Chain A
């Protein structure tokens, strides 16, 4: 038996009338279950460039909770990766300017010294990267690379650390872990490599795991395996997971909460299921509309006109307004002049948009 059909997950009926069906859980205003591991407040990340400062992340506020998966979604240049690298203090302080607050398990990361960061990295928060082939060192054996992370935070002998590495490889479902630990990354297949990367991430049992596009470089059938693995490991260890992705399908598979970013700012936040079923921000809505479906025929895809803005020279007002189709539904010239706040639009949902009744407007947009 090498594959088993899994029964469908119970479908939660999606009511057509979305506003009336208020979500039962609220991730934003009232604290849901799960201790807060990471609390980011008003984070701004800027990089100097020849053309001027690049505003990679602006006014970002969110938190990650134990036992929950938060998906951060956006296109390239939306700031999703930049913000999460800041959580581990991985930006070179000489080549970036970071303001705001990142509280990781009670420790302030912004402005922290190297020694503080070192203690937290891998031990409290670990990261998995997109391309496991380039993220693992090509010259060192996989087992040793995992053991190195364990040794950095535990005063044990090398042998113990190596045993731990083998255990971790076994845990992530790598057959023959003893032998595999002694191999180099290039001797692994793509899926196995990403499993090894996950083993490396979890070796110190961190409270927070940040997965940056963990399946983008993988084939679909392998992607499904890796997502299942991340889900089951999270259940087992109860850690918080931040999943950075551009793929809304991946979000739907594994996330509890979602944060949609556009041009460095959060534009929509809420429960993943709700946001994907009934997006309230015109950008989220348009993204969902532009996906071609494998389960139904489509004649013409909805598109978002234009291209994402330059982070050096952001549009005035709402960054999305030049591409927004709902812009004329906002009275006056607010979209082009006033930057909307990230406000609570309905229980458990925040959007950065001037629209007073976004769901109605977007429902009409979708129909037309």
Chain B
């Protein structure tokens, strides 16, 4: 048993490590030059550029930078910010090139927004998606089924920035039924109310996928022999469909849910942008624009860790959901 946990842990760490190295090389060794963008176009002199590079530490070889970054991650390190050394505790993700704020803190203030948005949209896409999918599966081949599948395909293929913008425009600006922005300073209720609009858009967008997964999985399950056995017991059709059918049909949905949640928790770029949610996704875009490498690295790391963790959770959840599960 310990061997298995150790094996999973080693696998998880090595995945994270590979992604770290790849991102580091992409950004730090790539053509992006944060010093150039900080220096500006017109007043930038060679001397000034060099100074900025030195202060950011990007003038040294990539290997050394990576070593220091990694060291910071594990044990913490001192970083020179505007000339003076500043200690950054492990796990150190560095300081923002732009604002000098510690990356860890910057991410921590934004993560609750993203997480709450992810959870609220999950509630929507799971309830809407799965119940609609099950309905379509039970009426397989009917007009209702075709309508549901067709609508989910059309809605799912409209880019979310179009539906999102239209929704935001209609319901928060033209007919202000929902608040336009979410602020944590408005208190819990106000904060959640502010997230309703983006959660609906995100939830419905994801729901289109879940309608189809749930439908396909349910159609398959309802054709299984054990559903026929259940029906031949003389129990009600509701029990047949929900107790015997749905339980088995949900297992494959859980796998997709895990990955989707990892994606949502590491930030939605467009929805957060449209609805002005100050979350990880919007933060990542901003820092990309500014070549703020420590923050980009931080957001990538979060996403990576989330994917690994969610996968582990899915595997464990699976073995509880399905007593047969034997991975080998």
Contact = CB atoms under 8 A, between A and B. Distances in A.
B229 A139 contact: no
B236 interface: yes
B1 to A, nearest CB: 20
A135 B228 contact: yes
Contacts of B235: 118, 148-149, 152
B232 A126 contact: yes
Interface stretch (B94-102, B106-114, B197-205, B316-324): B316-324
Interface string B224-254: 1110111111111100000010011000000
B237 A134 contact: no
Nearest to B247: A139
B226 A136 contact: yes
Contacts of A123: 234
Interface-centre pick from A90, A95, A137 (highest chain B CB count, 10 A): A137
Given A129-B229, A131-B225, A135-B229, A184 B234 contact: no
A139 B245 CA distance: 11
B233 A149 contact: yes
A131 B233 CA distance: 17
B321 A139 contact: yes
Contact of A138 (B141, B230, B322): B322
Contacts of A127: 229, 232
A119 B226 CA distance: 19
Interface residues of A, number: 29
Interface-centre pick from A119, A123, A129 (highest chain B CB count, 10 A): A129
Contacts of B323: 138-139, 184, 186
Size bracket, chain B contacts:
20 to 34
B247 A121 contact: no
Contacts of A121: 231-234
A186 B141 CA distance: 33
A71 B233 CA distance: 23
B324 A138 contact: yes
B234 A149 contact: yes
Contact of B225 (A94, A134, A153, A186): A134
Interface-centre pick from B226, B228, B231, B323 (highest chain A CB count, 10 A): B226
Contact of A137 (B141, B230, B237): B230
A122 B226 contact: no
Contacts of B244: 137
A153 B225 CA distance: 22
Given A138-B322, A138-B324, A139-B322, A88 B226 contact: no
A117 B233 CA distance: 10
A137 B226 contact: yes
A118 B236 contact: yes
Interface in A66-90: 88, 90
A153 B324 CA distance: 29
A236 interface: no
A114 B321 CA distance: 31
Contacts of B247: 139
Contact of A184 (B141, B229, B230, B324): B324
Nearest to B248: A139
Given A184-B324, A186-B323, A186-B324, A137 B234 contact: no
A137 B228 contact: no
A152 B323 CA distance: 25
Interface string B178-220: 0000000000000000000000000000000000000000000
18 contacts: A94-B141, A114-B237, A119-B234, A121-B231, A121-B232, A121-B233, A122-B233, A123-B234, A131-B225, A134-B224, A136-B226, A137-B226, A137-B248, A139-B247, A139-B248, A148-B235, A149-B233, A153-B234
Which 7 pairs from chain A and chain B are nearest by CB? A121-B234, A149-B233, A134-B225, A137-B226, A135-B225, A122-B234, A184-B323
Given A137-B229, A138-B323, 17 more contacts: A88-B232, A94-B141, A117-B234, A120-B234, A121-B234, A123-B234, A126-B232, A134-B225, A134-B226, A137-B226, A139-B248, A139-B321, A139-B323, A148-B230, A148-B235, A149-B233, A153-B234
